Structure 1
Amino acid sequence: MSLRYYIFLKDVLVLALTAFGGPQAHIALMFKLLVDKRKYLTEQELIELNALCQILPGPTSTQTITAIGFRIGGPNLAYLTLLVWLLPASTIMALAALTISYLQEHNISLKFLRFIQPMAVGFVAYAAYAISSKVVNTKTAVILMVISGILAYFFHSPWVYPLLLIAGGATTALRFRQHPQEKDKKLQIQWANFILYVAVLVAAAVIGATTSSLPVRLFENFYRNGSLVFGGGQVLTPLLYTEFVDFKGYLTGEEFLSGYAIAQALPGPTFSFASFVGNLAMREYGIGGQFLGSFVATVGIFLPGTFLIFFVIRFWDELKKYRVVRASLEGISAVSSGMVVAAAILLYHPIENTPLNFGIVAATFCLLLFTRIPPPILVLTGLLLGFVL
């Protein structure tokens, strides 16, 4: 493996340990490190890749960084990129689930996390600003961003997200004649990863319906959720709450929300929250069973998006040579910017609306915008204040 690949994986590890605030904030940090500093790809290429991943089900930032790894070093580097990206957060969330169990047994308060959630809102608000300033450059894009933000705010169905993205892409695709024609379009689609994606989905559903094995059923639950989620962790969280708290009772509401608060305090992919849920779902099987629960949940939630990005990225460069596809990316990017703005507002709702919490959101946003203080320093400061105060 070349030195460039090692440097890239080190950069991915840095992001995995410092990228706080969910998929929207992750993209803003990818611009800083992977585009501005390292120049692995151009701003436009990252915007296009992120737009592509927005219209696929699964974890957006995970698919984006995996796709970048694929472009730099092919499938092998992409697999290593995926592992380096998801392992830290997934491991920490598994350990957090064990810690939550211990704290509950000993009646220890979790109030030291209370500053982290408003800080996470500040991260997402900054991401909304950073992304929209790069991709919203026309009147049409501004209108699409505003409309999608309003609709994403008021309608929380997971199907709203793909419909908005498709509608936005279709709107700007009508202006495809403004883009120059490109020749040498040889679209060769390799179907292997898509067939794998469907085959695992069907097999998991059939086996899950006929077995009493909890790890197998958990894998099916998380694979199905990972196949249906558009729009990132903000959409995944209510789905997991409905299935594993309301319907199956594997966790209490307090446990689930405590885990969610911890997930907000962690860097890396938001989907790593699945590791926490899977761990507590298997608590009756001891520590070994809990780690098995984390493993099957993590594999289940990330595998569908991985199959799909490996399927699409192989012909993406040829596909985007079509003028209609290139034109549609403007609308998709504008809609995704509106969804980020809506996500920032929606994330603020569960927090008590006090001057202190609003001030934390505003201070986090301003520190990210006007200073170079690293995100982990901000989060560690929030944790320290939580302990002290």
Structure 2
Amino acid sequence: MSVRRVRYYLFLKDILILSITSFGGPQAFLAMLLERMVKTRSYITEEELWELNALCNMLPGPSSTQLISAIGFRVGGPNLAYLALFVWILPATILMTSAALLISFLQENTPGALKFARFIQPMAIGFIIFAAQKTISKMVKTTEAMVLMLISAFVAFFYSSPYIFPVMLIFGGLSTSIKYKNQPKSEEDKSLVIKWSNFYLWAGVLIIAAIAGAITKWQPILLFENFYRNGSLIFGGGQVLVPYLYTEFVDFKHFLSSEEFLTGYAISQGIPGPTFSISSYIGALSMREFGSTGFIMGGLIAAAGIFLPGIFLIFFVIRFWDQLKLYRPVRAALEGINAVSCGMLIAAAYLLFEPLEANGLNILFILGTYSLLQFTKISSPMIISAGIVLGILANQFLG
């Protein structure tokens, strides 16, 4: 076996270890990548890691998954990158699809089964508020960005259609790109060379899925198109995905109840791997009418739909990123895109709270969860586990 092949196997083994141990959010994930990929294995340099991380955060899609694939691309080209993607998302996809099967089974066979999740549903909102606060503090730096954030939150409050989100993102990006002169000057290379194959692949899949879904009305194709479209529009990570999916699958299509959605989101915060894995849970429940096969098919279709567009786009951009990042309008547009994404997060916290009973206990768990995340070092899985245990005890003794 060649030295190169051994290195590739070792790389995939490292990805698998990360996929089952990466608790703690993006900061912990980056620290683990730095330790394993840079300091221990020397797959890339530390400078390359931060550069790739910045690039992935500037593109739509799951940034952690894109970063894993981008490192794989640098180490061994596209084939290794796709294998790394598969290894990275598989454990979380299996866990979230299994969670959907379990939730559905409990609901069908045990009346009031979701009472065990009575506390983790408001806790999920605490996670959203914490994510919103962290994201806003990082992304909203100017008055213009603050105004855009508030406008997008207002629009999302009153127009709960999945089609308003891409319009707002485009509006946000255009409104700040005109301020490109405020960006520091750089030596812009006018001879920008772009290889369009991966862009055509991304756009082609999107168009074909939309046309096929409109013609056939077949649920698996429609589901793939839904997730592929969402995966093509999400800037800002898994927390920004929540309002999109809630609006589309709970408010708009009624594939899930608010209770089921909040339970799934809370569970996704307690497992390792990419936060976008909540898509597998939603996809599985969206196909429940097809039985056990539908659950598995729905989970896999959702995973493919949500993760593929970001991977196609990172492979497209990474080839000319060193030139593209020199253009000031590109950098300026990100301010507005990020501000709109933050507005969606604010709206998500409200939209998710609205179906819950506005009692003191729910508010206590929301604030308590936020406080634990903000002021302690207790891990997300421990917080979620405690909420489940409390729910089981309350269900046992209080009914």
State the TM bucket, normalised to the shorter chain: 0.7 to 0.9
1:86 to 2:72 alignment: no
Residue 97 of structure 2 contacts residue 284 of structure 2 at CA under 8 Å; is this kept in 1?
yes
The Cα shift of 1:201 comes to 4.5
The alignment yields a C-alpha RMSD, in angstroms, of 3.4
Alignment counterpart, residue 111 of structure 1, candidates 108, 115, 124? 115
Which digits, 9 at most, give the CA deviation of each residue in 1:147-202, with x for residues without a partner? 32223333222233222222222222222123212244553322223333344455
2:246 paired residue number = 237
1:273 to 2:281 alignment: yes
The Cα shift of 1:45 comes to 6.6
Alignment CA distance shift 1:296-1:151 (3 Å): closer
1:223 paired residue number = 224
Alignment CA distance shift 1:128-1:77 (3 Å): farther
- Unaligned 5+ runs, structure 2: 1-6, 39-45, 235-240, 270-274, 395-399
Which digits, 9 at most, give the CA deviation of each residue in 1:356-375, with x for residues without a partner? 11111111111111111111
Which digits, 9 at most, give the CA deviation of each residue in 1:95-145, with x for residues without a partner? 234334433443342200111121111111111111222222222222322
Q: Which amino acid aligns with 1:197?
A: W
Alignment counterpart, residue 17 of structure 2, candidates 10, 20, 23? 10
Matches within 5 A, 1:347-362: 347-362=352-367
Matches within 5 A, 1:32-71: 46=53, 49-53=56-60, 60=61, 62=62, 64-71=63-70
1:346 paired residue number = 351
1:135 to 2:144 alignment: no
- Alpha-carbon distance in 2 for matches of 1:166, 1:66: 24
Alignment CA distance shift 1:207-1:291 (3 Å): same
The Cα shift of 1:381 comes to 0.5
1:366 paired residue number = 371
The Cα shift of 1:79 comes to 2.5
- Alpha-carbon distance in 2 for matches of 1:376, 1:351: 23
- Alpha-carbon distance in 1 for matches of 2:110, 2:228: 37
Alignment counterpart, residue 147 of structure 1, candidates 146, 151, 154? 151
- Alpha-carbon distance in 2 for matches of 1:138, 1:120: 29
Residue 145 of structure 1 contacts residue 335 of structure 1 at CA under 8 Å; is this kept in 2?
yes
Alignment CA distance shift 1:93-1:134 (3 Å): closer
Residue 28 of structure 1 contacts residue 127 of structure 1 at CA under 8 Å; is this kept in 2?
no
- TM-score normalized with structure 2 length: 0.76
Matches within 5 A, 1:202-221: 203-204=208-209, 217-221=218-222
Query: Paired residues, what number?
Result: 359
Alignment counterpart, residue 262 of structure 1, candidates 242, 264, 267? 264
Alignment CA distance shift 1:28-1:189 (3 Å): same
Q: Which amino acid aligns with 1:271?
A: S
Which digits, 9 at most, give the CA deviation of each residue in 1:54-105, with x for residues without a partner? xxxxxx3x2x123212442313454344334432332123323433443344
Alignment counterpart, residue 185 of structure 2, candidates 161, 166, 180? 180
- Alpha-carbon distance in 1 for matches of 2:216, 2:176: 48
1:95 to 2:98 alignment: yes
Residue 52 of structure 2 contacts residue 67 of structure 2 at CA under 8 Å; is this kept in 1?
no
The Cα shift of 1:383 comes to 0.5
- Alpha-carbon distance in 1 for matches of 2:12, 2:129: 32
The Cα shift of 1:225 comes to 0.7
- Unaligned 5+ runs, structure 1: 20-25, 54-59, 246-250
- Alpha-carbon distance in 1 for matches of 2:318, 2:371: 36
1:320 to 2:321 alignment: no
- Alpha-carbon distance in 2 for matches of 1:35, 1:137: 27
- Alpha-carbon distance in 1 for matches of 2:16, 2:364: 36
Alignment CA distance shift 1:171-1:196 (3 Å): closer
Alignment counterpart, residue 282 of structure 1, candidates 286, 290, 296? 290
Alignment CA distance shift 1:129-1:244 (3 Å): closer
SS at match of 1:282: helix
SS at match of 2:59: helix
The Cα shift of 1:278 comes to 5.1
Percent of paired sites with the same residue = 38
Residue 227 of structure 1 contacts residue 305 of structure 1 at CA under 8 Å; is this kept in 2?
no
